[in-house]
Structure 1
């Protein structure tokens, strides 16, 4: 539980800095007249001693006596406006101004008290300060502006912290590990709930990363916050990988970019739209300091390229870096699975551990396929965005081929899985009026593709098609609409609003808690898309509105991520500390538990349990029920002798033939419901007379089934997903 204290400390670490300062290390032009350029620029203001440390080295094309009009803007608000005279300040080389190179200037300036008092307190406290200082150079003789320079200010606090990314990644991995171990111990309810929470957390972190990948001119605090989650998209800086990606690109006919390689020769300035006489619409401008005066052309880095730049990855290496991390992650996990399997088999054969029934019946091949598909499903969004984006970049012919192969492979793998799950569910509905029959009794479907539908109610299985369409459409706009930020943001608002309406109306998740959690995620995503639309300046709002909304965006998203992390941690801690974590969760209303493979020797108590055993072909468990019923008949009933007629025997479904399950992945020929000797749903009559399991006619079974559906669901206000699926009396 101590880890719970680490999470808020890591997320709020940027506020812990006590030093109050404002600094800038970049200078750029804000006018069409390139009067002054700089080779080196650095300014640091510390309010404690009212000192302004200035270091400047540049070239001037202007001459004569000049004055400077200084304007300080904080979140779009003009906090300070003052006219400065270099002659009064005693700045050598600037009074008068001479054309040519400036002398290297390093000086400390005492800032008056009245100036310090005018600077708002948020300039020192709020991380990722959205502030600029603009200086208009005015001729003393004419009074007209002859040049303009601008510098972006920082207070040394930033919400982009590597610890935040590590914390979220570790907690996500911890949740996956606990879910896997809990499932292996037979606690299917706890494993399903923890896995669902982890998937929701990871999906939300990917949505945060996608916001950072949009080409919208976002406030600095939003850029830094979303940068914390780019690891979920494979955008992670590793030195030797960058060298490998650059070598591969050159070897395959590409031309690597040199944005980061030339940082020592350039002045980098992050800009957003300003309401001024000289509007600049660049996210990031690279300007060669040695270039001739008047050459203001530069390299524009925005959206996905901006994300790579902030992660210290060359724009031409972003796709290959993400691809390598995805393939490496899949490879490492599969190797760990192989090592685990080999170790367990060796220990069992050597007699060092007692082989349990579960380990003896373990289908390692099917388990490996299931793990591999889960990894593909988790990385599907990442690969869609990066591969589609690579088509617009064409870094090298070989990388384009890799993008095509990876995209087609992922789409085919996930698409086939969706079709198989839908086909299994439809066949189960046709034969048994219940999709859970096959989805949770067939080991192929459950072990390989369960990650796609176990978080939903059994009757809401086809919501996975909606989720897949949502992922693909969103990926298309994020990756292909980089040059059109307004189109991108409008599309995201429509997509997120549609998804919120769908989830609000359908409520497809397995219980109330997961529905509330995912509805909250959908609501936050929709609000975020609206904020992005505002950041794109489509409403032409004052700059202060965008600045304030950037801070608000950070606050509520930070709080929501913290809540999701705590949910995963608490659920994982309970699963580890509790002997039976399943008791924390109520049974699913779709009765999936009755069809899951039993991992213990629990006696069958309802006809649904018997039907689940029938679906799995669990002969031993069914035999135990027969013996118990014959030895201890229920009062008021008489036990029947076993009949040799095959019609009275419990048929075995495809789910019981484990050898066939692991070798044939085609749809199983399920038994006709009229052949079953047990009712599909429990009934009061059946509970009073367990002998009905062995001899009632199909007509009796059907009538009892209809009666049961009405009595079992009458008190619980059934979800719309339960209507027409055999859970209520039609």
Structure 2
């Protein structure tokens, strides 16, 4: 059955009614006036017009310079989304415009109110007051009159963008998306701590993919491509994922840091009462406007006059400023451009600090709760025993999540050089995070290759060792075991994309073409390789890559290299907003519903099928990790080795030279140290019996029965049963021949590890 709210028009109307109440006062406003032809006889450094239809009054505050003298007429054109809706001619003498009949040269800086007739309201559609981020423009050509006849050539051209005060850049959207991401990641950590690793890995993988999609939306807004107002505002909703969040007192501190380290901080927001700032938008077939853009230049004298840092803003010949790309995002977030880099880096630093404090606090709270009997003694046992390794893994994951903003902001800072101190911070964070992730990826590949060499399966060591899983698992748990390497293409993808966004701010067309190629490559790679853990996760990420590719095509359309009609570009901007809003809503609902079901499910792991790489067979039971650790210690004692025999599972040389791997078991009838081997077999028989008892309690059935039920066939004994290449959690489990004869079926801990 087709539900009525699925109708896009009804949905759009409903959103407009809820978000923008009808009781709100209707208003149309313009805050900048741009010249749209060279040698314009009328320019304005400040232009602020507010029209309220309820009282039929337009309040005008303007600082302008006019070189026009004599009688003139105004040719006025109003465009909405590139489509001409009004075209009229106004004679200032018959309209009683003060000081304009005739016009005189000089400066105009006196605010005044202009009455508007009721007949003029009929030409303004009602949707102009309610539709968010209205893309409307008023263009005025000033023509001289000779004997009451208008000259065909204009002596001035003015253009003003009109807004109704409604926008999709809403604080509620920012908080809602942040809350969903944060709660989903927290739920994943809790579920993992309770031992449901399969469910936890699915939640974390989908949540991080959603966060990556939000960062992709933010990068669209950071590109130096003129965007329609609704597209620019939509991308602004996700700039929090790049650390672009305004906090008043922090901006004061960062400004002080800029100045104290040899930089000059901008103060553009303090100059808005006498200087206009134009947000660059799509040019719609205006040859005169293209000529006016050629006027844009950097004015060092005006920069010094207004106290603005050099290299910060483009300035027109008549004193107003133009912001685009990263500067546009900074201006809309009300953050000074020279503070933008440090703002993002500061939030990254505080995120790491807060996470470390939270993990340490969680460890002590769990310990106190266990001692007080509030939770079971073995609850969160793996986290409580290996909390330091877990903290390292979490910090590595934060570095991976924050790599896109660090890349974009640091590389952009290299082009701005706001201060020597800021450049030092950029060098430290960019190369530090890049080196950290590169080292982590190298370690994962090294461990996986060793696992393939020893066990014919990369999943064995990657998932059997809790230390490796907790420390490096953030790089590979979302992928199938055979695609452990896919983190490298992800890092390269993020790095190249960030380089084009940050370093190509001078050419939006170059950015658009580069993003099409990058996103197309990512879509093809994910669709062909399907590297993620299961079918649903692959579909989730393929859909995200497809949307990112479509968005890149939209960006290329916004560059207007094809000279498309203005209406087409305006419609594409609205389509980009609606498409991404619907897609983001679907993904958010999926995360919310899935996480809610898992939190209230008795055994959430059963909601997902086990991965084909059989990773769960290699994971130690979280509920019995203490017992397993004790059994490992017992085995080491039986072999007559101590701490000196322990080795790092991430070290190739120590793995090969470990006594546990070099010593072959003694067999009856062969020469050897009989006393030691006799003790060894005796104690190992106890250990094997205890471990089988533990596994039986975990799986609810004897080991050999459970394995026969699951596999349905007998598996060949392990080629590494003699201990020559034992590794992972069972590296010391060298079973003598008489024990092997008693249990003909292989242990489920060996399934999928190359034993069949």
TM-score normalised per structure 2: 0.78
Note the 1:228-247 alignment, pairs <5 A. Answer: 228-247=237-256
Q: Which of the numbers 341, 352, 357 marks the counterpart of 1:330?
A: 352
| Residues 357 and 88 (structure 1), Cα distance of their counterparts in 2 relative to 1, 3 Å cut | closer
SS in 1 for 2:269: coil
Matching of residue 655 in structure 1 with residue 728 in structure 2: yes
Equivalent residue number for residue 712 of structure 1: none
Equivalent residue number for residue 683 of structure 1: none
Please give the alpha-carbon distance, in whole angstroms, between the structure 2 residues aligned to 1:420 and 1:655. 16
Equivalent residue number for residue 672 of structure 2: none
Q: Could you tell me whether the CA contact under 8 Å between 1:24 and 1:152 is conserved in 2?
A: yes
Matching of residue 176 in structure 1 with residue 199 in structure 2: no
Please give the alpha-carbon distance, in whole angstroms, between the structure 1 residues aligned to 2:706 and 2:45. 95
Query: 1:449-508 CA deviation, whole Å, 9 max, x = no partner?
Result: 111111111111111222121111111111111112111111110010011011111111
Note the 1:630-645 alignment, pairs <5 A. Answer: none
Q: Could you tell me whether the CA contact under 8 Å between 2:246 and 2:334 is conserved in 1?
A: yes
Instruction: After superposing the two structures, state which structure 1 stretch, 533-542 or 49-58, moved more.
Output: 49-58
Equivalent residue number for residue 286 of structure 2: 276
Q: Which of the numbers 258, 269, 286 marks the counterpart of 1:260?
A: 269
Equivalent residue number for residue 644 of structure 2: none
Q: Which of the numbers 586, 592, 595 marks the counterpart of 1:569?
A: 592
How far residue 342 of structure 1 moved from its aligned partner, in angstroms, is 2.7
SS in 2 for 1:179: helix
Equivalent residue number for residue 557 of structure 1: 580
How far residue 282 of structure 1 moved from its aligned partner, in angstroms, is 5.7
Please give the alpha-carbon distance, in whole angstroms, between the structure 2 residues aligned to 1:294 and 1:397. 28
SS in 2 for 1:296: coil
How far residue 130 of structure 1 moved from its aligned partner, in angstroms, is 1.2
Query: 1:583-633 CA deviation, whole Å, 9 max, x = no partner?
Result: 21111121111111212469xxxxxxxxxxxx9999533245699869999
Please give the alpha-carbon distance, in whole angstroms, between the structure 2 residues aligned to 1:346 and 1:10. 48
Matching of residue 25 in structure 1 with residue 3 in structure 2: no
Q: Which of the numbers 208, 217, 238 marks the counterpart of 1:208?
A: 217
| Residues 497 and 173 (structure 1), Cα distance of their counterparts in 2 relative to 1, 3 Å cut | same
Equivalent residue number for residue 334 of structure 2: 312
| Residues 346 and 649 (structure 1), Cα distance of their counterparts in 2 relative to 1, 3 Å cut | farther
Please give the alpha-carbon distance, in whole angstroms, between the structure 2 residues aligned to 1:92 and 1:86. 8
| Residues 417 and 319 (structure 1), Cα distance of their counterparts in 2 relative to 1, 3 Å cut | same
Q: Which of the numbers 468, 471, 486 marks the counterpart of 2:494?
A: 471
Q: Could you tell me whether the CA contact under 8 Å between 2:265 and 2:338 is conserved in 1?
A: yes
Name structure 1 gaps, 5 residues minimum: 1-6, 603-614, 636-646, 658-669, 679-690, 710-724
Instruction: After superposing the two structures, state which structure 1 stretch, 58-67 or 437-446, moved more.
Output: 58-67
How far residue 234 of structure 1 moved from its aligned partner, in angstroms, is 0.6
Q: Could you tell me whether the CA contact under 8 Å between 2:258 and 2:265 is conserved in 1?
A: yes
Please give the alpha-carbon distance, in whole angstroms, between the structure 2 residues aligned to 1:634 and 1:411. 44
Note the 1:453-472 alignment, pairs <5 A. Answer: 453-472=476-495
SS in 2 for 1:462: helix
| Residues 261 and 57 (structure 1), Cα distance of their counterparts in 2 relative to 1, 3 Å cut | closer
Q: Could you tell me whether the CA contact under 8 Å between 1:650 and 1:677 is conserved in 2?
A: no
Equivalent residue number for residue 137 of structure 1: 142
Please give the alpha-carbon distance, in whole angstroms, between the structure 2 residues aligned to 1:271 and 1:633. 67
| Residues 34 and 286 (structure 1), Cα distance of their counterparts in 2 relative to 1, 3 Å cut | farther
Q: Could you tell me whether the CA contact under 8 Å between 1:270 and 1:285 is conserved in 2?
A: no
Please give the alpha-carbon distance, in whole angstroms, between the structure 2 residues aligned to 1:322 and 1:227. 14
Equivalent residue number for residue 80 of structure 1: 86
Please give the alpha-carbon distance, in whole angstroms, between the structure 2 residues aligned to 1:204 and 1:410. 21
SS in 1 for 2:89: strand
Name structure 2 gaps, 5 residues minimum: 1-10, 307-314, 626-648, 650-659, 661-683, 709-719
Matching of residue 388 in structure 1 with residue 461 in structure 2: no
Matching of residue 355 in structure 1 with residue 377 in structure 2: yes
Q: Which of the numbers 201, 216, 224 marks the counterpart of 2:233?
A: 224
TM-score normalised per structure 1: 0.81
| Residues 629 and 139 (structure 1), Cα distance of their counterparts in 2 relative to 1, 3 Å cut | closer
Q: Could you tell me whether the CA contact under 8 Å between 1:24 and 1:151 is conserved in 2?
A: yes
Query: 1:243-292 CA deviation, whole Å, 9 max, x = no partner?
Result: 1111111111111123223222211222432322412476999998999x
Note the 1:437-448 alignment, pairs <5 A. Answer: 437-448=460-471
Q: Could you tell me whether the CA contact under 8 Å between 1:71 and 1:133 is conserved in 2?
A: yes
SS in 2 for 1:95: coil
SS in 2 for 1:28: strand
Q: Which of the numbers 436, 455, 474 marks the counterpart of 1:451?
A: 474
Please give the alpha-carbon distance, in whole angstroms, between the structure 2 residues aligned to 1:366 and 1:694. 39
Please give the alpha-carbon distance, in whole angstroms, between the structure 2 residues aligned to 1:58 and 1:160. 31
Please give the alpha-carbon distance, in whole angstroms, between the structure 2 residues aligned to 1:270 and 1:625. 65
Q: Which of the numbers 597, 613, 617 marks the counterpart of 1:590?
A: 613
Q: Could you tell me whether the CA contact under 8 Å between 1:394 and 1:400 is conserved in 2?
A: yes
Q: Could you tell me whether the CA contact under 8 Å between 1:11 and 1:558 is conserved in 2?
A: no
How far residue 567 of structure 1 moved from its aligned partner, in angstroms, is 1.1
| Residues 279 and 407 (structure 1), Cα distance of their counterparts in 2 relative to 1, 3 Å cut | same
Q: Could you tell me whether the CA contact under 8 Å between 1:93 and 1:102 is conserved in 2?
A: no
Instruction: After superposing the two structures, state which structure 1 stretch, 272-281 or 218-227, moved more.
Output: 272-281
How far residue 198 of structure 1 moved from its aligned partner, in angstroms, is 0.7
Query: 1:194-224 CA deviation, whole Å, 9 max, x = no partner?
Result: 1011101100000000111100011111111
Equivalent residue number for residue 684 of structure 1: none
How far residue 124 of structure 1 moved from its aligned partner, in angstroms, is 3.3
Query: 1:515-558 CA deviation, whole Å, 9 max, x = no partner?
Result: 11100000000000011111111222122211110000000000
Please give the alpha-carbon distance, in whole angstroms, between the structure 1 residues aligned to 2:704 and 2:82. 84
Equivalent residue number for residue 170 of structure 2: 161
Q: Could you tell me whether the CA contact under 8 Å between 2:723 and 2:732 is conserved in 1?
A: no
Q: Which of the numbers 492, 511, 515 marks the counterpart of 1:492?
A: 515
| Residues 116 and 634 (structure 1), Cα distance of their counterparts in 2 relative to 1, 3 Å cut | closer
